[in-house]
Structures are given as structure tokens and as C-alpha cells.
Amino acid sequence: MSKRIDLMTKGPERAPHRSLLRAEGFTDWEMERPMIGIANSFNEITPGHMHLDKLVDAVKAGIHAAG
């Protein structure tokens, strides 16, 4: 079964996509793994959102730790 990431990283026609990912620091190993995007509405204007940057950091650390 193919992964959705394969649509961005597999085949010669996807070389521009791979080069952009590599420019962002992705390794070949990371490009083989699922990509997880984390949406975040942190801002310094809305008091109820000011803690979200710390929450997102914890979520990222948890995802990274899980492999």
C-alpha cells in the first residue's frame, strides 16, 4: 500500500518536492516516515491562546519520542 507522502517524494517528477524538503532539513529516512502536521493558533493577543506554544512543543516532543 502506498503512503500519501509517496505522492511528494517518489519518482523523478517529484525531484523539486524532494529538494524543498531537503532544504528544510529533511533526511531520506524522515521522508520515508509519515508526516504529521500540527495546527496551532498561538498568538500574543488572545489571552486564552498564549499557552498553546508550550502545548504544541509538548505535542511535537511526544510525536518525536514515539518515533
The answer to whether 52 touches 42, Cβ cutoff 8 Å, is yes
Q: Cell 532544504 appears where?
A: 23
Question: According to the model, what pLDDT value does residue 25 have?
Answer: 94
pTM of the model: 0.64
Check whether 3 has a pLDDT greater than 80.
no
CA separation for the pair 60, 67 (Å, rounded): 11
Question: According to the model, what pLDDT value does residue 31 have?
Answer: 86
**Domain regions of the chain by residue span:** 1-35, 40-67
- pLDDT digits over 14-67, tens only? 999 999 999 999 998 888 888 888 999 999 899 999 999 999 999 999 998 997
The answer to whether 46 touches 40, Cβ cutoff 8 Å, is no
**Contacts with 35 (C-beta within 8 Å, 6 or more apart), sequence order:** 5
Question: According to the model, what pLDDT value does residue 35 have?
Answer: 84
Question: According to the model, what pLDDT value does residue 1 have?
Answer: 64
Q: Cell 532539513 appears where?
A: 25
